[in-house]
Amino acid sequence: MKKNIIFLGLALLLTLTNISLADTVKTKPTMKIGSNVLSFILLGDINGYFEKEINSHFSWVATGHYIATGKLNDLKTNARTSLGIRTYTNLLSLEMLSKNKLKKNHSLLGNFLEFKTGFIRIESLYKPTLEFSVGKTNMFNEKVYYEVKLGLMRVLDDNDVIPYGSFGTGLLL
């Protein structure tokens, strides 16, 4: 019995050692979470963002917004959600355009193109939307990123195309 307890203790110690050693190995990030800070400060938009790498070319993105106060709430808009795809590319880089080369980016960083569909609640009615944007993601430090994005959103029930900008920050996971 005493030998079994010692054996189990050693096995547990080795397992914990392997777990802690595995945590020190750096791997490329495959997920991001964040928030659009600019929208929160200017519009009172409480929002969240999630991105998950699908493969070496694409990732899927999801956003949610709740507008408690501010300019958008005055327009009877208080919620928006969207889901779409994003691709990181050097196609937007002037250097890459001049060399006419494309390079894959696997790290959820750099220039990107994004296309999303979603719903916006206006006067208690949910209306479908389409969004297209371009942007760039950079690092503050090893885990914290920031991104700048410009885009267009179209509410499908209306003929209006709404330009928007974003400055977001978050964590690479």
What residue ranges define each of the domains in the chain, with the CATH number in brackets? Answer: 29-172 (2.40.160)
**Other Cβ atoms within 10 Å of 115 Cβ, number:** 15
**Residue 170 token pair:** 């978050």
> Pairing relation of β-strands 45-53 and 77-88?
unpaired
Q: What digits encode the pLDDT tens for the residues 80-96?
A: 999 999 999 876 555 54
Which comes out higher in pLDDT, residue 145 or 8? 145
Task: Identify which of 11, 127, 113 has the alpha carbon closest to the alpha carbon of residue 59.
Answer: 113
What percent of the chain has pLDDT above 70? Answer: 71
CA 133 distance to own-chain centroid: 13
Please tell me the predicted confidence (pLDDT) of residue 98.
45
Query: Which residues of the chain form beta strands (DSSP E)?
Result: 31-36, 45-53, 59-67, 77-88, 110-122, 125-139, 144-155, 161-172
The position carrying tokens 């709404």 is 162
Report, as an integer, the average pLDDT of 49-53. 96
